[in-house]
Structure 1
Amino acid sequence: MTRRGRALREGVYWIVCFEAQRAAELYLKALHLALTALHPYTHDLVELLESLKDAGLEPPEELYTYADALTPTARWPGIQAGSLSATTEG
């Protein structure tokens, strides 16, 4: 069984959300690379979707809802949306 499968079975849901966010981020960056040979340097899925418009794609609106749900709380478990600056404070 994979690490993700074990985590899901054992109720460690934050790692499943983290892996889902990371998979979506890497997919969107790969799509950017395929279309433009570049990718934005961000973990924010909404920003990655928005920047696809510059490449001539119009992502479906529902993707923005899912992307917003995974960013940033899935990438940094325990951080509330809008409080990302807490990670940079000493």
Structure 2
Amino acid sequence: MYLGGTFISILKSNKTALLLIIVSYIVYGFVFIIPFLHLDLKTKIICCSALYITSHVIFWAGTAIIGKSILRSHILVNLLNRLKILKSNNF
């Protein structure tokens, strides 16, 4: 997705924020690994919940560093994609 030249320059200047966003996706990926480990069900639920919440906190911290303009465009793009899905499903 291309949001303009400013998006590229913001990401180049804020490597810490970009690193936080990448780490959040890696943490979120562990949510899909936990169910296959030999742990109790209660432990799996707690681990998955903790990883899910942690990944979102890290992601939003990274986007807060990048700035409000990128944050708004991310929310707008997600909203538009959801509306397109709803429209294509004829709801």
Q: Please say whether Structure 1 and Structure 2 have the same fold, judged by a TM-score greater than 0.5.
A: no
Q: Normalising to structure 1: TM-score of the pair?
A: 0.36
- Rg comparison, structure with higher value: 2
| Structure number with higher helix proportion | 2
Q: Could you tell me the TM-score, scaled by structure 2's length?
A: 0.36
